[in-house]
Amino acid sequence: MTKHRSKMFLPIGESTVIDRIFEELEADKRVDEVYVNTNERFASDFETHLENASFEKPRVSVEETTAEDEKFGVVGALAQLVDREGIDDDLLAIAGDNLISFDLSDFIDAFETNEAPTLAAYDVGSYEQATSYGIVELEDDRVVDFQEKPDEPKSTLVSIACYALPEESVSLFPTYLEDGNNPDEPGWFIQWLQNRTPTYAYTFDEVWFDIGTPESYLDAVAWKLDGESIVADDASVEETSIGENVHVMPGATLLESNLERSVVFPGVTLEQTSLRWCVVDRDAAISQLDLTGALIGAHITI
């Protein structure tokens, strides 16, 4: 699904993952500029997306890479962005494939109160799941220990990819990288930073989805739809049962089928087919199948 499209463009109800972020940044007057940092491969997609949107702040800033294995790593990319755009101000960095349900304005409020590096933290409730993230240990709101992807996490409170950094911390990117530190995961920079300057966490209880798997994507869609379903006006639906948390996009044709908790992209044709927890990408055609937990690629006929 994301071989030829950025995860940030995946539909979440009537919006997309990244548009939810853009809307909040657009509304907050404290945010002066918004840079969409991407490599050359998806740059034109972002530029087209923004040309067709009503946002005024975002603009594309392009890395000189195309393949994932050529990327600088997240910290390296941030350092290059700061240098490329001449940023000499506080920096709010958000991963565009994260669906966050808290108000970014509240997060910025916390950052301004702390007057120090601030990260967003969420309790995933699972030690196994926590091994995939940076683990945060707090005293009140201050970070007293940070472990990036430990094998045996001390807690289930994790740092999500949302960071606010004062200008003086942003200026430390070159020092961090020149010392040979890990340029990839931003958690390594936070771990390095919190040993040098007071660092704080903004904890939240609302939902958070890391859109990295079909399962997490469907969970995010279900959260947004909240039991309802969306069927595009020009979709053709005949003798078909539409259950909860289903999104059927424009141009789809559904005949004698049953859908539950699934996403059907534009131009898909389903005939005598049942889908549960499935994602069917654009212009695929499926006939006489009963599928659960399937991911069907674009233009595939089964």
Model confidence pLDDT, tens digit, residues 188-245:
999 999 999 999 999 999 889 988 888 999 999 999 999 999 999 999 999 999 999 9
> Which pLDDT tens digit goes with each residue over 36-47?
999 888 899 999
The residues, ordered by sequence, that sit 6+ positions from 24 with a Cβ below 8 Å of its Cβ are 103, 104, 105
Give the separation between CA 77 and CA 69, rounded to whole angstroms.
13
- Give the global pTM: 0.88
Residues facing 147 on adjacent strands: 135
What are the structure tokens assigned to 293, written together? 């937990």
The rounded radius of gyration (Å) of the Cα atoms in the chain is 21
> Which pLDDT tens digit goes with each residue over 93-144?
999 888 998 999 999 999 999 999 999 999 999 999 999 899 999 999 999 9
pLDDT of residue 5: 84
For range 251-275, the mean pLDDT: 98
pLDDT of residue 79: 94
Q: Return mean pLDDT, the chain.
A: 93
pLDDT of residue 206: 87
Query: Does the pLDDT of residue 275 top 80, yes or no?
Result: yes
> Which pLDDT tens digit goes with each residue over 157-183?
999 999 999 999 999 999 999 999 989
pLDDT of residue 68: 55
Where does the pLDDT of residue 69 fall: very low under 50, low under 70, confident under 90, or very high at 90 and above? low
Query: Does the pLDDT of residue 15 top 80, yes or no?
Result: yes
pLDDT of residue 158: 95
Q: Which string of DSSP letters, residue by residue, matches the chain? A: --SSS-GGGSEETTEEHHHHHHHHHHH-TT---EEEEE-HHHHHHHHHHHHTS--SSEEEEE-S--SGGGS--HHHHHHHHHHHHT--S-EEEE-TTEEE-S-HHHHHHHHHHHTS-EEEEEE-S-HHHHTTSEEEEEETTEEEEEEES-SS-S-SEEEEEEEEE-HHHHTTHHHHHHTT---S-HHHHHHHHHTTS--EEEE--S-EEE--SHHHHHHHHHHHHTT--EE-TT-EEES-EE-SS-EE-TT-EEES-EEES-EE-TT-EEES-EEES-EE-TT-EEES-EEES-EE-TT-B-
Query: Does the pLDDT of residue 64 top 80, yes or no?
Result: no
pLDDT of residue 40: 87
Contact (Cβ atoms closer than 8 angstroms) between residue 97 and residue 75: no
pLDDT of residue 71: 57
Query: Does the pLDDT of residue 266 top 60, yes or no?
Result: yes
Contact (Cβ atoms closer than 8 angstroms) between residue 249 and residue 270: no
pLDDT of residue 213: 86
Residue closest to 220 by CA, chosen among 239, 242, 245, 196? 245
Contact (Cβ atoms closer than 8 angstroms) between residue 108 and residue 92: yes
